[in-house]
Every structure is written in C-alpha cells, then in structure tokens.
Structure 1
Amino acid sequence: MKTVRLTLHHDAETIHPMHRFVAESDAFDSYRMVHGNLTDDDERSFIFHVVGDAAAYERAIAEFGGTVSYDLTELGERSFSVYVRDVPEDVGEQLLETFTRGTLVALPPLEYRSDWTLRFSVVGEPTDLQRALESIPDGIRADVKRVGEYERPLGSGTTGLTRRQREALRIARNEGYYAVPREASVEDVAAELDVSPGTAAEHLQKAESRVIRSLEL
C-alpha cells in the first residue's frame, strides 16, 4: 500500500465557510478534523479539535446554519472539540467520495490551515490514489507533498509528549525530516511550526528523547 501526503488549495468558491472563518480570524491557532463517520447516509458526522476562541467559533457555526446539529466541548485553555452532524455541500461531498473510494483511507488528522489549504495523508493502492488525484473537483488544486510506502504510525511512545512536541514530530515526519536520505531540514520544520530553528530543534530533541526512552529494546 502507498501513502500520499496532500495539500489541497481551495479558492473562494470551494472553501467551506467554517474553514474560511477560522482561517481569516486571529482567534485560532489550529483547526483539525480528527474523526469522521463517512457512511453512505445523507448526513455525515465529524469531530474537530480546535485551538482558539470557543465562544467565537460557536457564534460562527450557529450563524452559518449549514449543520444539522453540533456539540461543543471545552477541553482546556483555548482548546475544544466540536461534534458536527452535517450534510456536505456539493464540493465537500465530491471530496469525500474521491478519497474514500475503493481501497482509499484518509488518515486523520485533516488540517484546515490559515492559507485556505487542507493537509492530510491518504493510503491505498496506487491505481486508486491516481484515480483520486485525477477526480479532484474544479476549484481545488492538489499539491502532492510526498509519496511512499505506508508505515505504521508511532504507538504508545508518544503518549507523554506535549502538544507542540507531537506537532513537531508529525511535521518532521510528513516533511521528510526522518527520510533516508533526509528530505527536509530543521529550518523546514521550523517554518511549518512558525518558530525559530532553535525552538524547533529543541521540540524535536525532547520528543525524540521521550520516544526512545519508551521503547522496549
């Protein structure tokens, strides 16, 4: 099985209103879909984890009015989860169908970013992956970041990591920092984290140390 790391670039016609709201607001740091029930029902269920202003988000989703129902739960300081029951609009429905056909499995989290892009990985047979890339709806441009063999994700060794350490490891892995030969630098990871190279290196070193100590060798 192959895995592809994708960045989907939306335009003003295809971006979801809630993605656009979060992207254009200074009140949010992170917006990710972590689970989804992608059945054939007309309605779909999703769980988002958000870092930002819960009250502002709740006002926006209530005003949007495009959801069947939602339930917002605060998780801690400036972080919350949102369970959403939704009927995807045409473009959203096409995207869901495109990346769940045949052997394809979209791997959470799906990152909704401030530059109107959506980042995620999808696993499947090469023919299904190629067919999906050729079937992306108009108004969305796909940037294939990385293609490789599917590898089992890190296990319980990551449970003690802070949010930023986990994010640094995830970005480093996705950017190719741990590839052989290495495909990304600490500077590349720092740019994605929006921190200095020194801070990025510190996050990676602490995360790597914790993961290594947790291994049963």
Structure 2
Amino acid sequence: MKSVRLTLQHGPENVHPMHRFVAEHDAFTRYWLVNWNHAHDGYNVMLFHVRGDREAYRERLLELENPTTIDVTDGDDDAFYVYVREEPGELGEQLVSAFARGSLVPIPPLEYRMDWSVRFGLVGDPADIQAALETVPDEMETTVERVGDYRGGDRTLEALTDRQREAVRVARNLGYFAVPREAGVEAVAAELGCAPGTAAEHLRKAEQCVMGRLEL
C-alpha cells in the first residue's frame, strides 16, 4: 500500500465559487473539507471546517445558483462547520471518478488553499494511484509532492495554522532543519514573502505546537 501527497491546481475557469470567495476574502484563514459522501442520487454531501467570517460565508452560499442544502454551525469564535449537499458538476464528477476508483482512499482533510489549489493525501494500490493521476482533467495541474509507504496520519499537524504549515514546509524544503543547516530564516522569509521576524515567529509557534503534543 502506497501513499502520495497531491496538489490539484484550479484555474479561474474551474475553481468552485466558494473556494474563490474564501481565497479572495481577507477574513478567511482556513478552508478544509473534513469529510464527504458521494451519494448515489446525483449529489455530493460535504462537511467543511472554515475559519473566518461566518456571516459573509453564509451570505455567499445563499447566492449560489447550483441547488444546495446548507447548514452553517453557530459559535462564538471564527471557526465553524458547513454542511453542504450539492450537484457536483462535470468537473466534480470527473474528480470523484478519478479518486474513488478501486483501492483508493483519500485521506482527510482536503486543504483548500488560498491559491485555488487543493492539497490532500491518497492511499492505495500504486496502479490505481497512477490511473487516477492520468485521468485528472487536463485543465487542472497536478503536483505529486511525496510518495512513500503509508504510516498513518498525524493529527498534530491539524493543530497548525495554514501559515505555520506553509512556513514549516518551506523551511524543510530549503534545508532549514538539515544538520548542518542549509538555509537560514532569511531564506524562509524570502520564500514566504514576509519579514524574517514573522517567519521566525511562524516556525517557533509551529515548533511549540508540535512539541507540546508529543507523548514523551
């Protein structure tokens, strides 16, 4: 059983209107699909976890032309869940067909990122994984970030903010965590497009979160 980490890049022609809305709205910092059911009645049922402006999200949902059933949870902070039942559309049907084949199991959450991409893990037989990648619609760019044996998920990573995860990912790729270190915080900051102090803060908070959850 193999696992891969994938990123599917949408463009302006095929990004879902809610994904576009969250990405272009400054009030949102997280947009994750945490569970779903591809029902047999022609609808997809999805549960999203969102961090941001609840009322703005709710109002935009109500403007969608595609028939949907919507339930947005209440709460006192900026984190909420959204239950959606909607017709998938042609692109959605193609993606479901690609990644629901044979032995494949998508690993939640699916991270809907602010650059209109979707990042997620996939486990299954290597032949099924390859077949899925080959049937992704041509209008979407597919990037395979990691390939290896499946070793289980790590819920600790879900406690990190999107920016902290991005900072750790960039730092790892640049060699910030290598011994000896191959890149400094200045290089991480340049890749993130922020000040070195900001990059260092993201890395410190991510380290504190991860280390605090380890069972030692």
Same fold (TM over 0.5): yes
Where do residues 35-46 of structure 1 align in structure 2 (5 Å cutoff)?
35-46=35-46
Amino acid in the other structure paired with 1:141: E
SS in 2 for 1:82: strand
Amino acid in the other structure paired with 2:213: V
Q: Which residue of 2 aligns with 1:200?
A: 202
Match of 2:160 among 156, 160, 164: 164
8 Å CA contact 1:168, 1:193 repeated in 2? no
Q: Alignment length, in residue pairs?
A: 207
- Distance apart, 1:41 and its partner CA: 3.2
- Distance apart, 1:165 and its partner CA: 6.7
With 118-127 and 202-211 compared, the bigger mean Cα shift is at 202-211
Amino acid in the other structure paired with 1:110: L
* Alignment partners' CA distance in 2, 1:149 and 1:3: 6
- Structure 2, unmatched stretches of 5+, are none
* Alignment partners' CA distance in 2, 1:32 and 1:210: 23
* Alignment partners' CA distance in 1, 2:96 and 2:172: 26
- Distance apart, 1:17 and its partner CA: 1.2
Query: For residues 88 and 189 of structure 1, do their structure 2 counterparts lie closer, same or farther at Cα, with a shift above 3 Å needed?
Result: farther
Where do residues 2-21 of structure 1 align in structure 2 (5 Å cutoff)?
2-21=2-21
SS in 2 for 1:31: strand
Q: Which residue of 1 aligns with 2:33?
A: 33
8 Å CA contact 1:71, 1:83 repeated in 2? yes
- Distance apart, 1:169 and its partner CA: 6.4
SS in 1 for 2:119: strand
Amino acid in the other structure paired with 2:99: F
Query: For residues 208 and 63 of structure 1, do their structure 2 counterparts lie closer, same or farther at Cα, with a shift above 3 Å needed?
Result: closer
Where do residues 165-184 of structure 1 align in structure 2 (5 Å cutoff)?
168=164, 172=168
Q: Does the alignment pair 1:102 with 2:102?
A: yes
State the TM-score, normalized to the length of structure 1: 0.81
* Alignment partners' CA distance in 1, 2:96 and 2:135: 11
Query: For residues 147 and 162 of structure 1, do their structure 2 counterparts lie closer, same or farther at Cα, with a shift above 3 Å needed?
Result: closer
* Alignment partners' CA distance in 1, 2:188 and 2:109: 18
Query: For residues 66 and 199 of structure 1, do their structure 2 counterparts lie closer, same or farther at Cα, with a shift above 3 Å needed?
Result: same
8 Å CA contact 2:31, 2:113 repeated in 1? yes
State the TM-score, normalized to the length of structure 2: 0.81
* Alignment partners' CA distance in 2, 1:207 and 1:143: 28
SS in 1 for 2:115: coil
Q: Which residue of 1 aligns with 2:125?
A: 125
* Alignment partners' CA distance in 1, 2:25 and 2:80: 16
Amino acid in the other structure paired with 2:113: R
Greater fraction strand: 1
Amino acid in the other structure paired with 1:107: I
Amino acid in the other structure paired with 2:202: A
Q: Which residue of 2 aligns with 1:137?
A: 137
- Distance apart, 1:68 and its partner CA: 2.5
8 Å CA contact 1:47, 1:82 repeated in 2? yes
The sequence identity of aligned pairs, in percent, is 39
Q: Which residue of 2 aligns with 1:51?
A: 51
- Distance apart, 1:189 and its partner CA: 7.9
- Distance apart, 1:32 and its partner CA: 0.9
